[in-house]
Amino acid sequence: MELTPSEQDRLLIFTAAQLAQSRRDRGLKLNHPEAVALICHAVIEAARDGVTHAQALAIGQTAVRSDELLPGVASMLFGVAVEAVFDDGRRLVVVDFPDSDADVPGQVTRLQPTPAPESTEVVAVDVHNDSSVQISVTTHMHFFEVNPRLRFDREQAYGRHLHIPAGEHVDFPSGSTVTVNLVPITGERVIIGFAGLVDGPLDAPGAKEQAMAKAKALGYLDGGAS
Amino acid sequence: MTPEELREIDQDIAVHGARAGDFVRLGDTDLVVRVESDDRQIGNELQIGFGKNARDGMGMRSVRSDESCDVVITNVLVIDAIQGIRVTSIGIRNGRISAIGRSGNPDTMDDIDVIVGSGTVIIPGEGLIATAGGIDSHVHAMSPRVCDAALSSGVTTLIAQEFGPFWGVGVGSPWALQHGHNSFAAWPLNVGILGRAAGSTTAPLFEALEGGVCGFKIHEDTGAHPRTLDTTLTFADEHDIAIALHTDGLNEMMNVDDTIDVIAGRAVHAYHVEGCGGGHAPDVLRMAGHDNILASSTNPTLAYGVNAADEHIAMIISAHGMNPELPSDVEIARRRVRNATMAAENRLHDMGVIPVTSSDALGMGRADDTWRKTFAMASMFADSAILDGSVAADEVITSNERVLRHVAKITINPALVHGLAHEVGALKVGLLADIILWSYKSFASKPNMVIKGGIPAWGVVGDPGATVANAQPLIIGPQFGAFGVAPADLGVHFTNNASTTSVAGRRSVPVQNTRTIRGRDMLYHGVLGDVQVDPTGNTVTFNGEIVTSEPQSRSSLTRTYLL
């Protein structure tokens, strides 16, 4: 058979699925490994039958029913990933079990919403995208140094970043103007790297003026008063 | 709350995990903890990934590792007897925990404790729990696979008694010990081997000491006689090594009170103090509650179950070289099994009287079951937290203290008992970065990642030919820290100050402070008192009050998780 390590791994899924199936046939409720094995097995065999990726995913989602699961198992069947051999090659299928139940192992309960980031010293800046493509800017980018093709009051953005939850971003579609809120960069306020416009302490004497001059010389679009 | 607010909360938990004030249910148990604090600043949470902020000049400082750290585990829910239950980041340098607190770049973020540099390995801890690596202080290494089982359950330190497949209960020969140490260096584990204290003279103890043992085991199968006990404890006091004791279960030479008298206030680790695992019948449990006697349990009697008694007679006969055809063997095995002492043992754990849990792996316990059974036992006594909003957040009854008590039983307390706490046992700056990462849903049942000396050494791995690392079948097995010469370097050989033995590629570390350790020093424990077992073995009291618990027909962390 000349089986590869991945093919041998599929046999583990098959064996576990056969075991789970025999337990299901006896009327037992399925636990986490049993349910995962049956879902993966269903996807792999659907692919072998020649169905499409979308069809295999649908088959995986219905491979087990809520009433066949032990309490708590439904919530654990999130992001079940398996690679199956389709006619056009091996493909990754990620199955999220569609149902839930009230019993959730590891459940996190929050009784009040998390407060938003503190928002002193917010400035609003209108940003126009002169570029032919959409530009996206993330939270902790030094906004002053973003893509030169964004036109806005660069001086206002000096030493600031977007006032949005960490890890999120703002999209600037080509040709559009978007208003963003910016807040001061915290910590020691030292900006190293980025486009090299500052490369040092933000608040050093003359640092801002020097950065403004450098940005201008390099052709960064600026919608500010100057 | 509005549906919009509820959706925002779900999304925030999915991205950032639990935050301060949140309630987290541990696995499928009834244990709910409340997060005491969170070192993150809202809006400046460090995150790694596409479009995230752990990038050059933002959350990542352009400095070398010696000015930042080698590894950071970001924003993880720490459950640790010293740290408490809090969200924080853990920085690691040269295999040790170098900083704990808020992670990121101090150039752009306030109050950074863990500086993340351009080369820092970032292990995202959001949505995960971090504990110290488990310490199993009672292991019969009857098979090398016991090491795989231990690692797969979140254990990173073993106190072993032999390297089988023979019944050793301690190893004496320095020649044999050298080969044992050499073999254990193949696993990313800290290992200490107990010498066999079966002699009435010190010469055999000396040679084992020079052979690099970390302590001695006294066992009735090789002689737990008064002379052996006294000789060994006197020797231990001279050399700062821990003594593990399995007492005279036949009461052949002593009753339990005689054993306590011979110990005479000296520190000793009383193994499987309930007695199924062996020791004075029916009342070895009387040894719990003394300041100098550090008592532990082995895992088959924990989360006291309806089938516990029934499995034990066959287990005793099989483990101890007995014969089921021999009526006298069956009779003495039967005397070791008592429901009342098991029921009391579990309650004494919850009360803080018994400070340590262990496995007794391959010698009447399960190498990969101690985390699971310790927390299944904790769940037995937990009140269900009411989280439907009818009880104000600050008044919800949580299990924080109970959870910290139980995490102490498998981490810091066995480290203290065996003199390992200068290296392992807690998430503390300066200690080895032996860290277990668990998902909230599988806490204490199946670990997600076992970090040994700062390097992922064991954990969940998937289909090796897949496009992603998490494709089924997911199994728990070796990671890179378990290959090449890495395991020797990542693990420690626990030894003693008089050892003349070294292990190629592995650091040897003498145990410390084993003779002065007392019950009162046990974290979240230290409750002392008088345990009495009536001569029938049917009633146990603590300071005159009956202690017992109900046998469980269904144990937490078990059926949901195990194939």
- The 3-class SS string of A208-226 reads HHHHHHHHHHCCCCECCCC
Q: Does residue A131 fall inside a structural domain?
A: yes
Q: Does residue A115 fall inside a structural domain?
A: no
Fill in the amino acid letter for A160.
Answer: R
User: Which residues lie below 8 Å from residue B395, measured CB to CB, with a gap of 6+?
Assistant: none
| Structure tokens, A66 | 């809520």
Question: Which residue of chain A comes nearest to B562, CA vs CA?
Answer: A33
Contacts of B22 in chain A (CB under 8 A): 108-110
- Strand positions, DSSP E, B172-281: 190-196, 215-219, 242-246, 268-270
Q: Does residue A66 fall inside a structural domain?
A: yes
Domain shared by A168 and A213, yes or no:
yes
User: Which residues lie below 8 Å from residue B245, measured CB to CB, with a gap of 6+?
Assistant: B217, B218, B224, B229, B268, B269, B270, B271
Q: Can you tell me which residue has the tokens 């052709």?
A: A219
Which residue of A110, A134, A183 to mutate against B (max B Cβ within 10 Å)?
A110
Last residue of a domain, one of A78, A95, A112: A95
Q: Could you read off the pLDDT tens digit of each residue along chain B, which spans 563 residues? A: 899 999 999 999 999 999 999 999 999 999 999 999 999 999 999 999 999 999 999 999 999 999 999 999 999 999 999 999 999 999 999 999 999 999 999 999 999 999 999 999 999 999 999 999 999 999 999 999 999 999 999 999 999 999 988 878 899 999 999 999 999 999 999 999 999 999 889 999 999 999 999 999 999 999 999 999 999 999 999 999 999 999 999 999 999 999 999 999 999 999 999 999 999 999 999 999 999 999 999 999 999 999 999 999 889 988 888 899 999 988 888 888 999 999 999 999 999 999 999 999 999 999 999 999 999 999 999 988 899 889 999 999 999 999 999 999 999 999 999 999 999 999 999 999 999 999 999 999 999 999 999 999 999 999 999 999 999 999 999 999 999 999 999 999 999 999 999 999 999 999 999 999 999 999 999 999 999 999 999 999 999 999 999 999 999 999 999 99
ipTM given for this complex: 0.96
- The C-alpha atoms of residue B232 and residue B212 are separated, in whole angstroms, by 16
Helix, coil or strand: residue B263: helix
Count of beta carbons in the 10 Å neighbourhood of residue B20:
15
- The C-alpha atoms of residue B466 and residue A81 are separated, in whole angstroms, by 10
Nearest one of B435, B376, B420, B434 to B402, comparing CA atoms: B376
Domain shared by A84 and A156, yes or no:
no
pLDDT for A117 equals 73
Contact by Cβ (8 Å): B158, B141: yes
Q: Can you tell me which residue has the tokens 């999304």?
A: B11
Does the distance separating the beta carbons of B44 and A186 come in below 8 Å?
yes
How far, rounded to the nearest angstrom, does the alpha carbon of residue B390 sit from its chain's CA centroid?
37
Count of beta carbons in the 10 Å neighbourhood of residue B486:
18
Domain shared by A137 and A185, yes or no:
yes
Does the distance separating the beta carbons of B563 and A167 come in below 8 Å?
no
Count of beta carbons in the 10 Å neighbourhood of residue B428:
18
Residues in A 130-169 with any Cβ partner in B closer than 8 A: 136, 138-142, 163, 165-167, 169
| Structure tokens, B336 | 């070791």
Q: What are residue B358's DSSP bridge partners?
A: B298
- The C-alpha atoms of residue B382 and residue B346 are separated, in whole angstroms, by 13
pLDDT band at A225 (very low <50, low <70, confident <90, very high): low
Contact by Cβ (8 Å): A38, A24: yes
Residue A119 has pLDDT above 80, yes or no: no
Residues in A 206-225 with any Cβ partner in B closer than 8 A: none
Q: Does residue A108 fall inside a structural domain?
A: no
User: Which residues lie below 8 Å from residue B28, measured CB to CB, with a gap of 6+?
Assistant: A72, A103, A105, B441, B556, B557, B560, B561
Domain shared by A89 and A134, yes or no:
no
Does the distance separating the beta carbons of B52 and A167 come in below 8 Å?
yes
Does the distance separating the beta carbons of B467 and A83 come in below 8 Å?
yes
Question: Which residue of chain B comes nearest to A200, CA vs CA?
Answer: B107
DSSP B432: B
Does the distance separating the beta carbons of B5 and A113 come in below 8 Å?
yes
Distances (CA, A) of B178 to A17, B501, B502: 45, 7, 8
pLDDT for B384 equals 83
The b/e string for A50-61 (b: 16+ C-beta within 10 A; e otherwise) is: ebebeebbebbb
User: Which among A92, A115, A117 is the nearest to B468, CB-wise?
Assistant: A92
Tell me the fold of B134-406+520-546.
Answer: TIM Barrel (3.20.20)
User: Which among B1, B44, B464 is the nearest to A113, CB-wise?
Assistant: B1
Q: Mind listing the pLDDT tens digit for each residue in A7-31?
A: 999 999 999 999 999 999 999 999 9
Contact by Cβ (8 Å): A196, B116: no
Contacts of B105 in chain A (CB under 8 A): 187
Domain residue spans of chain B: 3-126, 134-406+520-546
Helix, coil or strand: residue B5: helix
pTM above 0.90, yes or no: yes
Count of beta carbons in the 10 Å neighbourhood of residue B500:
10
Domain shared by A10 and A65, yes or no:
yes
Rg (CA), chain B: 24
pLDDT for B1 equals 84
Distances (CA, A) of B481 to A15, A203, B56, B159: 29, 45, 28, 21
Residue A226 has pLDDT above 70, yes or no: no
Does the distance separating the beta carbons of A136 and B53 come in below 8 Å?
no
* Helices within B264-387 (DSSP H only): 308-319, 327-335, 339-351, 370-380
Does the distance separating the beta carbons of A12 and B475 come in below 8 Å?
yes
Residue of B225, B280, B312, B320 marked catalytic = B320
Does the distance separating the beta carbons of A185 and B473 come in below 8 Å?
no
- The C-alpha atoms of residue B500 and residue A142 are separated, in whole angstroms, by 59
Q: What are residue B531's DSSP bridge partners?
A: B542
CATH number (domain holding residue A199) = 2.10.150.10
Q: Does residue A160 fall inside a structural domain?
A: yes
Helix, coil or strand: residue B353: coil
Helix, coil or strand: residue B262: helix
Q: Does residue A101 fall inside a structural domain?
A: no
- The C-alpha atoms of residue B292 and residue A103 are separated, in whole angstroms, by 44
Does the distance separating the beta carbons of B470 and A105 come in below 8 Å?
no
Q: Does residue A222 fall inside a structural domain?
A: no
| Structure tokens, B131 | 């504990």
- The C-alpha atoms of residue B51 and residue B47 are separated, in whole angstroms, by 9
The b/e string for A1-31 (b: 16+ C-beta within 10 A; e otherwise) is: eeeeebeebbebbbebbeebeebbeeeeebb
Q: Are strands B128-132 and B435-439 parallel, antiparallel or unpaired?
A: antiparallel
Q: Is B525 a catalytic residue?
A: no
Contact by Cβ (8 Å): B137, B417: yes
Residue A11 domain boundaries: 5-95
Domain shared by A87 and A135, yes or no:
no
Count of beta carbons in the 10 Å neighbourhood of residue B254:
19
Tell me the fold of B3-126.
Answer: Urease, subunit C; domain 1 (2.30.40)
Q: Does residue A106 fall inside a structural domain?
A: no
Q: Can you tell me which residue has the tokens 């995962």?
A: A36
| Structure tokens, A171 | 């999209």
Domain shared by A141 and A203, yes or no:
yes
- Strand positions, DSSP E, B167-250: 190-196, 215-219, 242-246
The string of DSSP codes covering A146-183 is S-TTEEB-HHHHTTEEE-S-TT-EEEE-TT-EEEEEEE
The structural domain count of chain A equals 2
Phi and psi for B98 in degrees, rounded to 5? -105, -25
* Helices within B51-153 (DSSP H only): 145-152
Contacts of B440 in chain A (CB under 8 A): 105-108
pLDDT band at A118 (very low <50, low <70, confident <90, very high): confident
pLDDT band at A180 (very low <50, low <70, confident <90, very high): very high
Phi and psi for B361 in degrees, rounded to 5? -50, 135
Fill in the amino acid letter for B173.
Answer: S
Which residue of B7, B24, B34, B58 to mutate against A (max A Cβ within 10 Å)?
B58
Count of beta carbons in the 10 Å neighbourhood of residue B185:
21
Which residue of B108, B110, B403 to mutate against A (max A Cβ within 10 Å)?
B108
Longest dimension (CA), chain A: 79
A173 cis-preceded (ω within 30 degrees of 0): no
Size of interface A-B (CB pairs under 8 A): 193
pLDDT for B326 equals 92
Fill in the amino acid letter for A205.
Answer: P
> Any idea which of A42-46, A149-153, B58-62, B314-318 has the lowest mean pLDDT?
B314-318
